[in-house]
Amino acid sequence: MNKQEELLEILIKKNTVSEEKLQEIKLLMLKRPLEEVLLEKKITDIEKITEAKASLYGFAYQSLSEKKIEEQVLNIIPFEVANNYKIISFNKTDNRVDVGLVDPDNFKAIEAVDFLANESGFTAKFFVISSASFLSALRQYKTLSDEISVALKTKEEEDLKEVQKGAYENVEEVVASAPVIKIVSVIIRHAVEGGASDIHIEPLHKETRIRYRVDGILKTSLVLPKNIHEAIVSRIKVMASLKLDETRLPQDGRMRLMVNGKEIDFRISVLPLVGEEKVVMRVLDMSKGAPTLEELGFSGYGLEIIKRNIQKTNKMFLVVGPTGSGKSTTLYAILNLMNKEGINISTLEDPVEYYISGVNHSQTRPEIGFNFASGLRSLLRQDPDVIMVGEIRDDETAELAIHSGLTGHFVLSTMHTNDAFGAIPRLLDMKVEPFLLGSTLNTVVAQRLARKICNFCKVEDVIPGDLLSDIKNELNSIPQNRLTEIKETDLTKLKFYKGNGCARCGNTGYSGRVAISEVIDIDDKLADKITSNEKSFDIKDVRASQNFISIKQDGIIKVLNGITTIEEVLRVMRN
């Protein structure tokens, strides 16, 4: 008996579900979750379902709908952590903190609380709460704007006092002021807690705009007065050990901070604009483990090719795509699969995005001559079995990578091309000999990152007729045995989904990202074509020897599986 059936049994024993409704419910449960069925049919309410769920998992039940939570108790768990894991701290007695949990199956949520408990020295007692209780409690958090407003008000008051005293003679003194430190700290913390990959601090005509890139999309999170822009930029320069008095030339730097008990690395880029400087901060959470290929979105035949080909002891494996398409993350997922005691894995990266225990990570530093080409020469003297080169950017790196693959090393790397076919002519243009490339190239993966539909506000959707025709045309050209990757067996009745937008996804309808990809297995037939210097490849050449599908077709499969939307697939395909 699965959890859904056990929950139904508890509800029957509590007389919440009657016997006459039982058969109807069981039929509907074959396609949809029990909770959804009960609420739609108005058989019971969310609180009674939650109470039964608490009993099922051995937790106590708690309703927070009418509860006023003290601010210091609520902030034991930061807003973005609470929002992400659907957990709320609502009471504190001595050293014990009571934590509400929406999904008792979410072990990551429990791990997050345990981590915070260990860091802060308290013990946690878990209660199951409903989604309605959670949203009610979540509204009691202060927002990013609230925190910044307090810091701005403090700064205005202090500036007034300092102006009256004739203080603040230079920028360094402004930067050292507590309110600016607070503003920068809050901007960084909210970016990390919100899962942002980049922070943009941009000077506009009359104001300063703060934008976060979340799930690949830039979104304005805050607008600040223009008069504090210079102080914020200078504060970040101080933190990254950059030159305060240099405002005419671009500057790049790095810094590492502890944010909510986690070590976070930041790459800082300062660019002079007309009259002001813009700052972009890349957020690198070193505590995160690399995801698996399945978690990234690889499945079916393409996943089989990748897992089969990484068993080889030499040759070259390429992941291609535009900037920000998740190429490096895919390589890390592959390194995790290859990481064994008997294998020496060394990497050359810029920057190192994840640390994998057992892998030798090396950070390039072009400013002192340690680039991919010079670093690769040194790596070859380290007796490596597997080499991961962050990116093939020039002829010298390409030549060294190819020769490494020929001499008993398995080489993984990335390139910037629009599709998998483009990698071959690109390497040939880098002066790689065709016969060497044909002998060395193993697999080419091209990918994009599409946003996933939020599971909490997911509903069926109707799409326009022209898009439907386009989807049907693509389905007709997908090999028959790849169509089995679509969960819906009746392809005459296509179903589409979208996110309506809710508090959990910031009303975007999307949460998280998934890779859509195409995978080419360089078999003997294709290797012969490369060796004979045939620069142009098309889908017919590949499909003659394997069950190939394009990035767009893989995206359509994920659309029909309810993972993403057709609009999102078309958006990322324009990159």
Three-state secondary structure call for residue 327: helix
Per-residue pLDDT band for 176 (boundaries 50, 70, 90) equals very low
Q: What stretch(es) of the chain map to CATH 3.30.450.90?
A: 144-285
Domain 144-285, second-level architecture: 2-Layer Sandwich (3.30)
**If residue 459 lies in a helix (H) or strand (E), which one and from where to where?**
strand 458-461
On the question of pLDDT at 2 being above 90, the answer is no
State the pLDDT at residue 144.
Answer: 60
Per-residue pLDDT band for 160 (boundaries 50, 70, 90) equals very low
CA–CA separation, 200 vs 211, rounded Å?
Answer: 5
Q: How many residues does the chain have?
A: 575
Is 296 within 8 Å of 326 (Cβ atoms)? yes
Q: Nearest 5°: phi and psi at 37?
A: -65, -50
Nearest Cα neighbor of 230 from 175, 149, 155 is 175
Is 87 within 8 Å of 100 (Cβ atoms)? yes
On the question of pLDDT at 510 being above 70, the answer is yes
On the question of pLDDT at 157 being above 70, the answer is no
CA–CA separation, 92 vs 420, rounded Å?
Answer: 55
CA–CA separation, 144 vs 186, rounded Å?
Answer: 7
Question: DSSP secondary-structure letter at 67?
Answer: P
Per-residue pLDDT band for 170 (boundaries 50, 70, 90) equals very low
Per-residue pLDDT band for 163 (boundaries 50, 70, 90) equals very low
On the question of pLDDT at 370 being above 80, the answer is yes
Per-residue pLDDT band for 1 (boundaries 50, 70, 90) equals low
Per-residue pLDDT band for 82 (boundaries 50, 70, 90) equals confident
- Mean pLDDT of all residues in the chain? 85
Q: Which of 27-31, 42-46, 177-181 has the lowest mean pLDDT?
A: 177-181
Is 44 within 8 Å of 110 (Cβ atoms)? no
Residues forming a β-bridge with 89: 99
CATH number of the 3-138 domain:
3.30.300.160
CA–CA separation, 375 vs 404, rounded Å?
Answer: 13
Nearest Cα neighbor of 507 from 519, 495, 518, 499 is 499
State the pLDDT at residue 76.
Answer: 85
CA–CA separation, 283 vs 195, rounded Å?
Answer: 9
Cβ-proximal residues to 180 (8 Å cutoff; 6+ apart), any chain: 155, 174, 228, 231, 232, 235
Cα atoms found within 13 Å of the Cα of residue 501, Cβ hemisphere only: 3
Looking at domain 293-573, does it have CATH number 3.10.20.440? no
Nearest Cα neighbor of 282 from 258, 266, 263, 264 is 266
Average of per-residue pLDDT across 296-315: 92
Q: Nearest 5°: phi and psi at 24?
A: -60, -45
On the question of pLDDT at 147 being above 80, the answer is no
pTM over 0.85: no
Cβ-proximal residues to 403 (8 Å cutoff; 6+ apart), any chain: 436
Q: What stretch(es) of the chain map to CATH 3.40.50.300?
A: 293-573
CA–CA separation, 144 vs 417, rounded Å?
Answer: 38
Q: Which of 164-168, 294-298, 446-450, 562-566 has the lowest mean pLDDT?
A: 164-168
Tell me: the pLDDT tens digits for 440-465?
Answer: 999 999 999 999 998 888 999 988 88
State the pLDDT at residue 268.
Answer: 94
State the pLDDT at residue 344.
Answer: 94
Bond from prior residue into 351 cis (ω within 30 degrees of 0):
yes
Q: Which of 28-42, 71-85, 147-161, 377-391 has the lowest mean pLDDT?
A: 147-161
Percent of the chain topping pLDDT 70: 92
Average of per-residue pLDDT across 489-499: 85
Q: What stretch(es) of the chain map to CATH 3.30.300.160?
A: 3-138
